[in-house]
């Protein structure tokens, strides 16, 4: 039995949480393989709404095993808060949650370093979620990090203090004054006190050697779904560097973040919105600064699930989508938020870029340095409430034409179309 993968093909927030939740009844296991609490995955059902940051989106199904893999990074304060909130949603206070001992810890000083680094960059800042993602992965690859399994070691406090003090020295180099900086509304000292407490709590959770755990589940024939965070265009290697996150959000991250072999990978489900959004800095060729962009933000409620920041909005970008499909080997697509563009007379889709005198379909080495002017094809809008139409089992011809257009341009079938935030608002093709 193989491991299917669901990952975002744009700049994150495609609706991964919703689709993982929808697909969960078909799987025995859901596993997160990278990222950390920079993610915000929204799930809505029975009139309730939950936003998951670190916990896999299979958590609401009590029969599903949820694994936080070694490639994920964990802030114990955020994880504790998240789990506490979930107990209102039948998530069984973590009974079906397993955490890798090899997952790295986000220290309070990683969060200070993130803020200091962004502050030093000024106008060229990344637009980080300030959850400490970059500094934690830096310590991981620099071989200085602390892992979940280290909490149990007798010298954990000493190792924590050494790393923390080294970070505080680094922060001075940034000429950043941490005293005025709040972490989730708390002073550094108050956050640190909570953090040390919650690290002890984390040590009492179901910790596993997740690479053995997951390979055993594979051997038992369990059906496994790997849940991506962020999006392919934020990948550390393939995104618009340096305006990216610090992990491999693409398919390779599944193997390194869970300890599974490439030949175990089955379906690769790529998820995209019928338009594009991006939160934070970086190039975005099809970004709209007009009333259509405003309409997308308003109708799509495009405000960050983690930070509340307004998301930048624009038209669907086929060359970017095809790039993500290529890197990930996507075998099927899920289209999200089609309902958001219901009212448009005309829908634009970029199918190439103009770069100087040239028409190109590849993303150049440094899209930050070069102006890419989208070349659009225009499709007629459907001017119909697709949510209602999907419930009645008949979607308008213009809608079908839009779906076929994307399938033709990408060469990949669209298996599911989402027409609203609720679990039930899904149309299977
Ligand atoms: P994720 O990070 O990929 O899980 O996505 P987010 O949860 O950050 O953002 C997706 C947002 O769109 C959430 O507020 C979802 O509730 C919402 N959403 C998901 N699917 C749909 C859809 O088909 N239509 C609409 N209108 N909203 C959706
Ligand atoms: P989900 O999983 C959208 C963006 C940030 C910033 C850049 C780097 O909900 O789709 P970081 O905090 O990682 O140092 O920020 O990446 N970013 C996301 N954008 N969705 C996310 O996650 C994101 N996680 C990070 O806005 O531009
Ligand atoms: Mg999100």
- What is the tens place of the pLDDT at every residue in 164-222? 999 999 999 998 988 889 999 999 999 999 999 999 999 999 999 999 999 999 999 99
Ligand 3 centroid to Cα of residue 90, in Å, is 22
Q: Which residue has the tokens 């505080």?
A: 168
Banded pLDDT at 145 (limits 50, 70, 90): very high
Largest Cα separation within the chain, whole Å, is: 66
Number of other CB atoms surrounding residue 366 within 10 Å: 10
| pLDDT value at residue 89 | 53
Between the ranges 93-97, 172-176, 244-248, where is the mean pLDDT highest?
244-248
pLDDT tens sequence across 17-33: 999 999 999 999 999 99
pLDDT tens sequence across 210-236: 999 999 999 999 999 999 999 999 999
pLDDT at 240 over 80: yes
| pLDDT value at residue 175 | 87
Strands 41-45 and 265-273, bridge-based pairing: unpaired
Angstrom distance (rounded) from CA 258 to CA 14: 22
* CA-proximal residue: ligand 1, atom 14 (nearest): 42
| pLDDT value at residue 313 | 98
Banded pLDDT at 367 (limits 50, 70, 90): confident
Mean pLDDT of 359-386: 94
| pLDDT value at residue 88 | 65
* CA-proximal residue: ligand 2, atom 27 (nearest): 280
* CA-proximal residue: ligand 2, atom 25 (nearest): 38
Angstrom distance (rounded) from CA 47 to CA 133: 32
- The dihedral built from the CA positions of residue 119, 124, 130 and 134, taken in this order, carries a sign that is negative
Mean pLDDT of 332-336: 98
Mean pLDDT of 140-145: 98
Mean pLDDT of 146-163: 98
Mean pLDDT of 262-280: 97
Query: Measuring CA to CA, how many Å separate 377 from each of 18, 262, 265, 362?
Result: 30, 37, 35, 17
**C-alpha radius of gyration, the chain, whole number:** 21
Query: Measuring CA to CA, how many Å separate 185 from each of 79, 146, 199?
Result: 17, 25, 19
| Residue 13 bears catalytic tag | yes
Ligand 1 centroid to Cα of residue 270, in Å, is 15
Test site for ligand 1: of 22, 42, 55, 295, most ligand atoms within 8 A of the Cβ: 42
pLDDT tens sequence across 38-94: 999 999 999 999 999 999 999 999 999 999 999 999 999 999 999 998 876 554 568
Mean pLDDT, rounded, of the chain: 95
Model pTM? 0.97
pLDDT at 130 over 70: yes
Between the ranges 212-226, 299-313, 383-397, where is the mean pLDDT highest?
212-226
Q: Which of 4, 13, 21, 75 is catalytic?
A: 13
| pLDDT value at residue 388 | 93
Is the model more confident about 88 or about 350? 350
pLDDT at 345 over 60: yes
Ligand 3 centroid to Cα of residue 37, in Å, is 10
Q: Which of 41, 53, 80, 110 is catalytic?
A: 41
- Exposure of 101 by Cβ count < 10 A (0-12 exposed, 13-18 middle, 19+ buried)? middle
Pocket of ligand 2 (CB under 6 A): 8, 11-13, 38-41, 126-129, 131, 133-134, 229-231, 234, 245, 279-280, 305
Banded pLDDT at 111 (limits 50, 70, 90): very high
| pLDDT value at residue 140 | 98
* CA-proximal residue: ligand 1, atom 10 (nearest): 15
Please tell me the number of the ligand nearest to residue 233's CA.
Answer: 2
Pocket of ligand 1 (CB under 6 A): 8, 12-18, 39-42, 44, 300-301, 305, 336-337, 339-340, 418-421
Banded pLDDT at 322 (limits 50, 70, 90): very high
Ligand 3 centroid to Cα of residue 128, in Å, is 13
pLDDT at 244 over 80: yes
Angstrom distance (rounded) from CA 38 to CA 19: 19
| Residue 177 bears catalytic tag | no
* CA-proximal residue: ligand 1, atom 12 (nearest): 15
Banded pLDDT at 116 (limits 50, 70, 90): very high
Ligand 1 centroid to Cα of residue 82, in Å, is 18
């Amino acid at each position: 039995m193989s491991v299917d993968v669901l990952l975002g093909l744009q700049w994150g927030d495609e609706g991964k949480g919703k689709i993982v939740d929808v697909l969960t009844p078909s799987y025995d296991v859901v596993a997160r393989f990278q990222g950390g609490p920079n993610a915000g995955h929204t799930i809505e059902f029975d009139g309730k709404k939950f936003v998951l940051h670190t916990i896999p989106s299979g958590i609401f199904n009590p029969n599903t095993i949820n694994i936080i893999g070694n490639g994920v990074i964990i802030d114990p304060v955020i994880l504790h808060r998240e789990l506490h909130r979930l107990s209102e949603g039948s998530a069984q206070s973590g009974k079906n949650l397993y955490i890798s001992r090899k997952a790295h810890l986000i220290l309070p000083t990683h969060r200070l370093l993130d803020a200091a680094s962004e502050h030093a960059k000024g106008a060229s800042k990344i637009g980080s979620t300030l959850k400490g993602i970059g500094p934690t992965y830096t310590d991981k690859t620099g071989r200085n990090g602390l892992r979940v399994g280290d909490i149990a070691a007798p010298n954990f406090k000493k190792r924590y203090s050494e790393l923390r003090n080294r970070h505080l020295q680094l922060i001075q180099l940034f000429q950043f004054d941490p005293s005025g900086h709040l972490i989730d509304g708390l002073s550094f000292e108050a956050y640190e006190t909570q953090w040390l407490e919650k690290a002890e709590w984390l040590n009492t959770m179901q910790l596993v050697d997740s690479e053995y755990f997951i390979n055993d589940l594979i051997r038992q024939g369990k059906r496994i779904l790997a849940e991506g965070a962020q999006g392919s265009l934020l990948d550390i290697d393939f995104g618009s560097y340096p305006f990216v996150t610090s992990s491999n959000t693409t398919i390779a991250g599944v193997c390194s973040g869970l300890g599974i072999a490439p030949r175990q990978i089955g379906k690769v489900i790529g998820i995209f919105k019928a338009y594009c959004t991006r939160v934070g800095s970086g190039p975005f060729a099809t970004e709209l600064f007009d009333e259509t962009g405003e309409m997308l933000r308003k109708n799509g409620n495009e405000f960050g699930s983690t930070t509340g920041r307004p998301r930048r909005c624009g038209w669907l970008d086929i060359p970017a989508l095809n790039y993500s499909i290529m890197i990930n080997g996507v075998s099927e697509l899920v289209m999200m938020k089609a309902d958001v563009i219901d009212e448009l007379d005309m829908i634009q889709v970029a199918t190439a870029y103009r770069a100087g005198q040239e028409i190109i379909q590849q993303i150049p080495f440094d899209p930050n340095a070069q102006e890419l002017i989208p070349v659009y094809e225009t499709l007629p809008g459907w001017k119909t409430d697709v949510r209602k139409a999907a419930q009645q089992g008949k979607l308008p011809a213009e809608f079908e034409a839009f779906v076929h257009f994307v399938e033709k341009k990408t060469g990949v079938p669209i298996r599911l179309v989402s027409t609203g935030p609720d679990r039930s608002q899904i149309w299977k093709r």
